[in-house]
Structure 1
Amino acid sequence: MLRENITDLIAFAAVARERSFTRAAGQIGVSQSALSHTIRALEERLGLRLLTRTTRSVSTTPAGERLLKTLAPNLEQIEAELRRLSEMRDTPAGTIRLTAPDFAVEGLLWPKLMPVIQAYPDVNLEIIVDYNLTDIASEQFDAGVRYGGRVSEGMIAQRIGPDVRLLCVATPAYWQAHGRPETPQDLMDHNCINVRLPSHGGLYAWEFEKDGRELRVHTPGQLVFNAIGPMVAATLDGIGVSFMPDFYVADHLTSGRLEAVLGSWSQPFDGLHLFYPSRRHASPAFKLLIEALRYRG
């Protein structure tokens, strides 16, 4: 009986979860008509109606809801075990999902991870650019990247970069035309390029510290972005002043395309960390990623 029903039970679980024959058929890779026939055959063998169908919706009957509650966790456990078994191969393989802000991806992660995917063609990376304080467990990420002071309790945190300073930068031509600020308050007379981050709920206030004195300045300006990449482009075009992680603009500072001011007000803080739940049996691919990103000073 079990051998006859297992594929039909998987099909039923897909329809019950999706509440749609169309979406479920796409998920398990069969036609809608074939899926409908499978469900009817299962109901006939059980002598019970499992789903209520209308022209607009699909819902479970009481019997169907009871079956789904028993079935779903067991199917998930089987799938998880199969994933663990597939990860036991010696050759690193599989997909790793990461969430990180764009400046971390461009300035730190990608230079270290590019050699990994070139050397290990069976390792797949999915990197989601996100400034939210994402719950990586509920969103099914393997790991995330944040500054050290913002890593959630209970997570393993591994440093992947040096301490960071946030710098006020603009082109030499901009400073020459508008003057260099001597204090953070002087930024109120400049065209500042701001960023709106979901984790802050509004425009990010530029943070400064000197001799134990902390300042948060809500800077004025014409431009607001929700990512740092476009801010750099606008800054290089001479539009105004931006507030950037030092490693992200290091090449532009070295080349002289950008110049930093208020350096004595920019104190270092904990750099970027990779964080992830405890894994007693991490896959070879995940171990490879951890080693590639490890900060070695």
Structure 2
Amino acid sequence: MERGELNDLLAFASVARERSFTRAAAILGMSPSALSHAMRGLEERLGVRLLARTTRSVAPTEAGERLLASLRPALAGIKEGLEALAEWRDNLSGTVRITTTAYAAKIVLSPKLPGFLLTHPDVRVEVDTNDALTDIVASGFDAGIRLGESVEKDMVAIKLGPDLRSAIVATPAYFERYPKPQTPFDLQHHACLGYRLATSGGLLPWEFEKDGKEIAMRTSGPLISNDGELIAAAIRAGAGLGYMMEHDVAEDIASGALIEVLEDWCPRFPGFYLYHPSRRQSPPALRALIEHLRA
């Protein structure tokens, strides 16, 4: 195999994974038009159509999916071999790709990732935030960060922080207009502010547990948004009752700016974990990042 053909196969894998010439071109450091031209050349040489193109999207054809399935283990082996060379370098280098939620990025990565980047200037960290549970192996990610209850059992999982707890809160002024709920079922009579999951489009259920009984409530109210900061602002303004993480409203509760209700229905649950495929040796850059996040 000539070097040019190998480069085209690498480029094809990137396009097929990203489902976008623009995003794949940015990763590969080339223009979208040059990448598209290279893919047409690859298809002509192989005599088969690998990518189905429209004006707005690109996706692998059935033949493309079959080729991608064959390429994945080979490309993963090449990547691991290159990453292993880092053991002989003085400075860590390479790319670490992570998928996580926007909230996890805020709580886990924002406080510590900048320090890691300053300490290891030759390491590149790519973070993709979305609400969906991404298949990190199929999507080419090195690791994911999610709540512990969402991590698949066949993954290596490393806890990155304490257990979490939800809190149902509203302002004192709100409770002058509405009685405090005594059970989750009382929420149907309240103005509940809802969070819409950006990826799936569904509303985040309000989850409760007491005496071994679990309840997931579908609430309604005057505001639905996929912007958590907007919802928090509306709660603090007295517009409604909110389902928040205790960590985010602890100071408001302590100062009396917000009042918490249904405390006995909101137990603690596993916090955030970094997880990666179960293999004998992780890339040095990923190992270093894990240690930094755990510190």
In the superposition, the TM-score normalised over structure 1's length comes to 0.72
Aligned CA distance change for structure 1 residues 53 and 208 (closer, same or farther; 3 Å): closer
User: Per the alignment, do residues 127 and 265 of structure 1 end up closer, same or farther by CA in structure 2, a change over 3 Å counting?
Assistant: same
- CA deviations over 1:69-128 (Å, ceiling 9, x no partner): 9x9679735455334324642322222221122222212332132322233222322221
- Could you tell me how far apart the structure 1 residues matched to 2:186 and 2:238 are? 18
Distance across 2 between alignment mates of 1:162 and 1:192: 27
| Residue 8 of structure 1, CA deviation | 3.6
Aligned CA distance change for structure 1 residues 249 and 144 (closer, same or farther; 3 Å): farther
Partner of 1:10: 6
1:124 and 1:177, CA in 2 relative to 1: closer, same or farther beyond 3 A? farther
State the one-letter code of the partner of 2:119: A
Q: Is the 8 A contact 1:11 1:28 kept in 2?
A: no
Q: Percent identity?
A: 37
Q: Which residue of 2 aligns with 1:50?
A: 45
Larger Rg: 1
Which residue is 1:119 aligned to?
A: 119
User: CA separation of 1:72/1:136 partners in 2, compared to 1, >3 Å: closer, same or farther?
Assistant: closer
Residues 1:15 and 1:118: Cα distance change in structure 2 (over 3 Å) = closer
Letter in 1 for 2:92: P
Q: Number of residues paired by the alignment?
A: 266
TM-superposed CA distance for 1:243, in Å, is 0.8
Kept in 1: contact 2:83–2:94 (CA 8 A): no
Equivalence for 1:151 = 151
In the aligned structure 1, how far is the partner of 2:95 from the partner of 2:8? 27
- 1:219 positional shift: 1.2
Q: CA RMSD in A?
A: 3.8
The 8 Å contact of residues 107 and 247 in structure 1, kept in 2 or not, is answered as no
What's 1:280 paired with? 280
* Partners of 2:150 and 2:128 in 1: CA distance: 18
Superposition deviation, residue 189 in structure 1 = 1.6
Measured in 2, the distance between the counterparts of 1:266 and 1:274 equals: 24
**For the Cα contact (< 8 Å) 1:148–1:273, is it kept in 2?**
yes
The match for 1:45 is none
Displacement of 1:168 after TM fit?
Answer: 0.6
Correspondences of 1:194-209 after superposition (within 5 Å) = 194-197=194-197, 202-209=202-209
Q: Deviations over 1:204-256 (max 9, x none)?
A: 32122223333332212122223534322332232211112222333443444
Please, what TM-score do these two structures have when normalized by structure 2?
Answer: 0.73
**Distance (whole Å) between structure 2 residues aligned to residue 229 and residue 179 of structure 1:** 26
What is aligned with 2:225?
225
3-state SS, counterpart of residue 173 of structure 1: helix
